Chain A
Amino acid sequence: MKDFHGLIFAYYTDARLRELVSMRTAASLPFCGRYRVIDFSLSAMRNAGIVDVGVIMQRDYQSLLDHLGGGKAWDMARRTGGLRMLPPFGLPEYHRGNYAGTMEALIAVSSYIKDVNAKYFVLMLGDMCANIDLTEPMEQHRKSGSPITAICTDRADAEGFRMTYLTDENGKACQILVDAVNEKEGVLSLEAYIINKETLLELMETSRKQSLHRFHKDTLDTWLKEGGKMDIYVHHGYTALIRSVDSYYKANMDMLNSDIRHELFPADRPVFTKAREEVSTYYGVGSYSRNSLVADNCIIDGSIENCIVFSGARIASGAKLKNCIVMNDCIVEAGCSLDHCIIDKDCSFSAGTVLNGNERLPLIVPKGSNI
């Protein structure tokens, strides 16, 4: 029996991501030139030896399924166990509307959870960029005897997280605060937990009976108030939650900073993703490139500056791109000038197109646009 089993929440998609999520979940948003956001949680689990993982999804999961495939990229294509997709099943009520909260999502897949033969569950978000070394909190959890360990951050630049834990003199969580922006004390929850299986099932049962759906505001708040033990593990590395166009754009642009990028992609904890077997990138005779990240299989004859370029881009001579995110397989013809744009997959720009967004409001070019 394997002790740890992973669960990744990929059901939630924040509406502030606008057109970027019209055809995908936040977890399958393309990131940093070649990845999808969910790769971080999957790779963290894989690097900690957890290859039995369920991914909880609810709507618009076509692109997510396509990305995950059989789980081979994360060594999760296993004869027994391995990667399991968990769309709403069995219970018709879960096909309607959105899950009201993490608890409802867990209850919707409760038959799966009950059948899992593991002592502990590791719960993580699918729309978070962080390279967490899970072996440390796993070890801490085994030793501490607390039924729950919360993985938190002490980084001032961690954006988008809303739950703060205050701790007692022993470093255990004692209180949960919501949206405590000005709180100096405490640590911010990354909404990642290690939890004993029987504890999880008990909490799910209580929530189901009382129709409480919110994991933090209902379940964990009550747990702490009733004196339940919760350990805290602090992750110090870069962390970003992808819940808005702003945070998506900023997190991508953060990758141009080598120090931050190395925190997210350290050599000893690689981030795995679906392979696109292809060719190196070609820079033509008259090309110009500065401060950019460029994936394989691009042909660059024009100029790029402060850009994140995914594979398959064709940037013609005389085209100028600045401060742009260019997703897979985009074609930019001669003389185009694009600034502060988030260009979704398969877009093409005919010669001379000019589009300018703003740092505060990057312009989204929806998937498949021909301009």
Chain B
Amino acid sequence: MKKKLVAMLLAGGQGSRLYALTQSVAKPSVPFGGKYRIIDFPLSNCANSGIDTVGVLTQYRPLQLNSYIGSGQPWDLDVNDGGVFILPPYQSAGEKGSWFTGTANAIYQNLSFIEEYDPENVLILSGDQIYKMDYADMLREHLEHDAACTISVLSVTLEEATRFGIMNIGPDGYVEEFEEKPKHPKSTLASMGIYIFNWKKLREYLIADENDPNSNKDFGKNIIPSMLGNGEKLWPYRFKGYWADVGTISSLWESNMDMLTPQLIDLYDPEWPISARSPICPPHQVGAHAEILHSIVTEGCEIDGIVDNSVLSPSVRIGVGANIKYSVLMPGVVVEAGASVEYAIIGENAVIHAGAKVGGSPAPGEEKSITTIGPDLEIPAGSTVKVGAMISSVEEV
């Protein structure tokens, strides 16, 4: 079955900078924004853009991700001639199987999957970004400009530009030069790591890159520069809207807090729903002693304490007199009576026992520092977890 566009979602990243949260799950399946997991954003964008064939490349701790994606039904991706496919590294006859060694290598190892759909173009996505984008619009520009590759770019500040791959644009509007983390940026158009490639072209470059022993097998470092070097047409697709890479604890916290400002990103737009697979729980309960201020709360929660500027995933329980401020509480977290959690991220099913104190608010003028508690950990009653700590194992408690 020939497809116009097949999406390949890179979801193999370990997310080592989030280590307390990603010891047993891949980064894309980290809970986000109350109801979601990070991967819900690219998957929902695909479904909303009319893309019905998505390959999800997994490598690190894929178990939870596999069961989360399942048949793809929550995103309406359970269709007859396409759907969502989990693509782990595998071994072929007569060859030694190997792990994905880079983003480009991951796609290279799945050439046969893409060939099955013989698409005209291939969309490459990351599994660790929060944004709403119409890939169909990006494809339209890609075709309009007859590009070999179209790269989504975002306008950033000059200061931020030093942390991104930066696209310098020529007078004809095409990409002229690509600089990875330039010290002195010439432009402020940052690559978002979202690409549409002409499939025939990409196939050639992937095979050539695979045979180059000096290559890192990476899209940003190798494929894009060699396309530029060969004079291929690279078009920048200028994205406007909310976009966040959630690769670090502070960016993950920050982006969760952004969900409290609907002007930044509207999750309630029925035209562009972000879908999730979630267990069916009763509505959340606001108890007789509860106080909820400017927060996101999800079904199954039972709240009898104070929740202030926080994001609560399903089935979180907050006891009487507990105080939650500027924090992200993942599914099943329990905060017992009198405990306090401030400027923190608490992993799934962790328990903060009565009176414990996790993290704290920054003093005026002080840089904030996020405290992280890994999944399933128990913080003993009355104990204190110091500001900025990352607790990932029982021994550290």
CA distance A309 to B286 in the complex (A): 11
The answer to whether A223 has its CB under 8 Å from any CB of chain B is: no
Find out whether the CB atom of A270 lies under 8 angstroms from the CB atom of B280.
yes
Interface string of B283-300 (1 = CB under 8 A from A): 111111010111111110
Residue of B nearest to A295 (CB): B283
The answer to whether B375 has its CB under 8 Å from any CB of chain A is: no
**Main SS of the interface on chain A?**
loop
Interface string of B328-366 (1 = CB under 8 A from A): 000000000000000000000000000000000000000
A117-125, A191-199, A273-281, A337-345: which lies at the interface: A273-281
Find out whether the CB atom of B35 lies under 8 angstroms from the CB atom of A290.
no
Find out whether the CB atom of B282 lies under 8 angstroms from the CB atom of A290.
no
CA distance A275 to B277 in the complex (A): 9
> What 3 pairs across the A-B complex have the smallest Cβ distances?
A280-B34, A33-B283, A295-B283
Q: Find residues 266-281 in chain B having any chain A CB closer than 8 Å to their own CB.
A: 267-268, 273-276, 278-281
Residues in chain B near residue A277, CB distance under 8 A: 74, 273, 275-276, 278
Residue of A nearest to B269 (CB): A279
Find out whether the CB atom of A285 lies under 8 angstroms from the CB atom of B294.
yes
**Main SS of the interface on chain B?**
loop
Contact of B283 among A32, A270, A285 (CB under 8 A): A32
Find out whether the CB atom of B302 lies under 8 angstroms from the CB atom of A32.
no
- What are 8 A-B pairs at a CB distance below 8 A? A258-B285, A275-B278, A280-B34, A280-B311, A284-B294, A293-B284, A295-B284, A296-B298
A residues lining the B interface (CB < 8 Å): 32-35, 73, 255-256, 258, 261, 265, 270-273, 275, 277-285, 287, 289-297, 299, 304, 308-310
Find out whether the CB atom of B286 lies under 8 angstroms from the CB atom of A291.
yes
Question: Interface size bucket, B side?
Answer: 35 or more
Known: A280-B34, A282-B262, A284-B294. A290 touches B284 (CB 8 A): no
Residue of B nearest to A297 (CB): B268
Known: A270-B280, A273-B280, A279-B267. A287 touches B293 (CB 8 A): yes
The smallest beta-carbon distance between B201 and chain A, in angstroms, is 37
CA distance A217 to B34 in the complex (A): 52
Find out whether the CB atom of B34 lies under 8 angstroms from the CB atom of A279.
yes
Interface string of B109-124 (1 = CB under 8 A from A): 0000000000000000
The smallest beta-carbon distance between B217 and chain A, in angstroms, is 36
Known: A271-B280, A279-B267. A295 touches B299 (CB 8 A): yes
Find out whether the CB atom of B282 lies under 8 angstroms from the CB atom of A32.
yes
Q: Quick one: which of A261, A280, A291 has the most chain B CB within 10 A?
A: A280
Q: Find residues 232-280 in chain B having any chain A CB closer than 8 Å to their own CB.
A: 260, 262, 267-268, 273-276, 278-280
The answer to whether B62 has its CB under 8 Å from any CB of chain A is: no
The answer to whether B33 has its CB under 8 Å from any CB of chain A is: yes
Residue of A nearest to B309 (CB): A285
CA distance A35 to B299 in the complex (A): 12
The smallest beta-carbon distance between A237 and chain B, in angstroms, is 15
Residue of A nearest to B287 (CB): A291
Residues in chain A near residue B287, CB distance under 8 A: 258, 290-291
Residues in chain B near residue A283, CB distance under 8 A: 292-297
Find out whether the CB atom of A289 lies under 8 angstroms from the CB atom of B296.
no
CA distance A273 to B278 in the complex (A): 12
Residues in chain B near residue A275, CB distance under 8 A: 74, 278, 280
CA distance A124 to B206 in the complex (A): 61
CA distance A222 to B298 in the complex (A): 52
Q: Find residues 4-63 in chain B having any chain A CB closer than 8 Å to their own CB.
A: 33-35
Q: A278-B275, A287-B294 are in contact. List 15 more A-B contacts (CB 8 A).
A: A258-B287, A261-B285, A270-B280, A277-B273, A277-B276, A279-B34, A279-B268, A279-B274, A282-B260, A283-B295, A290-B288, A296-B35, A296-B299, A304-B286, A308-B283
Residues in chain B near residue A299, CB distance under 8 A: 268
